[in-house]
Amino acid sequence: MFKGVIVPMLTLFDDDKKIDYSANEAQMNRLIESGVNGLFYMGTTGEFMHLSMEERKQFIKWAVDTADNRVKILVGTGSTNINETVMLTEYAQSQGADAAVIVTPYYLRLTQEELFHYYRKILKHTSMPIFIYNYPELTGNNISPHTVSRLAMEYENLVGIKETIESVSHIRKMILEVKSIRPDFSVFCGNDDHTINTLIMGGDGVIGALANVRPDVFVALYNAFISGDWESIVSSNAKVLKLMRLYDFNPVSMIALKKALELMNVCRNPKVRLPHLRLTEVEERDIQSILEDI
């Protein structure tokens, strides 16, 4: 079962905005050494929407080879084209990735029955462990616990869900309904400040972008929960809540997160691909203040 702290990785670029494999390897090693349980490449934070299909395939192979079985490697294979999703998922399986994370279709609004058949077709074509990625704020589609339950009952290789959703009650219903029929099914929150809520309700962990910046805070929070150290839980959770301010600078979170890594001397290049713009000098100073506060 997948559990703990899984980091949705930033994709670091060089001066020409090509994937900087050296910088990404340094960040990978830093996070693994901090004690995280897994790495998730090419999610929203990883700018999958800005990568070509060939770049995504190269990145999958690189991530699996470079991690060398030190932690679980999850890769985003979702697309608005279901045939591309199936193809990229099959490729990820052939390269040895531990799971594929497939975002709900986006742009068009779909019914629950349409979402069911979308994932059903993918699950029929692979034996690879699959995570559903539910992010209704960006995709416009919110998959229900009942739809996930139907899929989980039919396909054992549907192993979990990443719930990037503000509604705690939606996460609660997902945990109670799906785990009642599939106790091995993993429910992760995608919003960092829902980590402790999700764990207390019976969920399995967090796939939150702020762990790119301070993985130690999230590892400490998870370990404190497992050991029942409530004083440490409160202390670590307070740091998570302060780090949440990094999301306030730009609707596109990776801009502030990359700048934070640069200010911490973790990476030298905070560039993102167009259409996103740079932060202002005032915003950069505010990010420095948040890091110092933590």
For the annotated catalytic residues, the residue numbers are 44, 107, 133, 162
- 3-state SS of 34-48 is HCCCEEEECCCCCCH
Strand partners, 163: 134, 189
Q: How far apart are CA 199 and CA 101, in angstroms?
A: 21
CA 180/CA 200 separation, integer angstroms: 16
Peptide bond into 275 cis (omega under 30): yes
d(CA 194, CA 208): 9
Distance of CA 206 to the CA centre of its chain: 8
- Name the residue type at position 124: K
Say if residues 23 and 14 touch (Cβ distance below 8 Å). yes
Sign of CA dihedral 147, 149, 155, 157: positive
